Amino acid sequence: MKIITFFNNKGGVGKTTLVYHFTHMVAELGHKCLAVDLDPQANLTSMFLSEEELERIYSQETNRETLLSGIKPLDRGIGDVVPVKIHEVNSNIGLLAGDLELSLFEDKLSSNWSKCIDGDEAAFRIVSSFYRIIISEAKKIEAEYCIIDVGPNFGALNRAVLIAADYVVVPMAADLFSLQGLKNLGNRLETWKTEWLDRYSRNRTPDLSLPNGLIKPLGYIVMQHGIKESRPVKSYLKWANRIPAVFDEYVLKRDVTLDKKVENDENCLALLKHYHSLIPMAMEVRKPIFLLKPADGAIGAHYQAVLRAYQDFKILSKKIMSKTV
């Protein structure tokens, strides 16, 4: 079972939509998936579940069927993690729902991060709580892939999630601010990995399941670029072609190849179109764009775009899966 987190500290790059579509395509290819919404905004959850189901879940004052219920005992200081409801999206996708109140756990995660240096067992239980919930619930449905969505920040919540990840995929736009964000991300991942390995070595409870903090970057995906004759337009290429060098230097920490182009970069997992016209249609019928049918309104040019989207996401998903072997 492999844990893949999609993360970028710059928002607005289509990350959650990407996670949703990637999960559906991996499932479409016959693999069991556990989607995990650890962004307190819970946008991934709202994409997967119906309005009626969302209202039922979030109208509950206590015992919500979200990830919050799994950490409640720890948060209150009266126990350890407990099972979380897995929402069945389809036969190959289960969902651990997000919750706005997860952000309230941030302070506890932050204070206990430093306590791990002293080998404090309670601190290790708190910092590893999401990892242990994910592992436990994934086993129940025999998931091959756990696919995690997180918010765009460097807070303690995301740190706890990232150290639990085997792999990281970076969705990004081709612009100045995304490049700066990529530099920040690379430096922060390296810091978190180093700090966790030090803490991991200080654990005095050998039977406590802890993440190994691998956090291996799989590559980046450039989102929402303009297309002209199947190639990114010039304004996007100006910034896109700077990504390979920044990714090499700041994320992979290796020598830079200055003349490398984004379209030839082995770390570029995909250059994805936005598919503007298909998004509202897909949201209306609550399905990924590449599974839209003529009955959903995808006819003519729209249906041709659906077929292209299917191939785009199939190629991307297979590429990501091949890198996790």
CA–CA distance, 166 with 135 (Å, rounded to integer): 12
Q: Which of 3.50.50.60, 3.40.50.2300, 3.30.870.10, 3.40.50.300 would CATH assign to domain 2-275?
A: 3.40.50.300
Which segment of 71-80, 192-201, 232-241 scores lowest on mean pLDDT? 232-241
Report whether pLDDT(58) > 90.
yes
Q: How far is Cα of residue 156 from the mean position of the Cα atoms in its chain?
A: 16
* Structure confidence by residue, pLDDT tens digits, 215-259: 999 999 998 655 554 555 677 788 899 999 999 999 999 988 778
Extents of the domains making up the chain: 2-275
Record the tokens describing residue 297, joined without a space. 């309104």
- A 10 A CB-CB count for 257 gives 10
Q: Which residues contact 270 (CB under 8 A, 6 or more apart)?
A: 221, 222, 312, 315, 316, 319
Q: Which is nearest to 119 in space by CA: 23, 51, 208?
A: 208
Record the tokens describing residue 276, joined without a space. 């503007």
CA–CA distance, 193 with 197 (Å, rounded to integer): 6
Give, for 5, the enclosing helix (H) or strand (E). Answer: strand 2-6
pLDDT on residue 229: 46
Query: What pTM value is reported for the model?
Result: 0.94
Please tell me the number of Cα atoms within 13 Å of 196 on its side-chain side. 24
Q: Which is nearest to 191 in space by CA: 9, 38, 16, 323?
A: 9
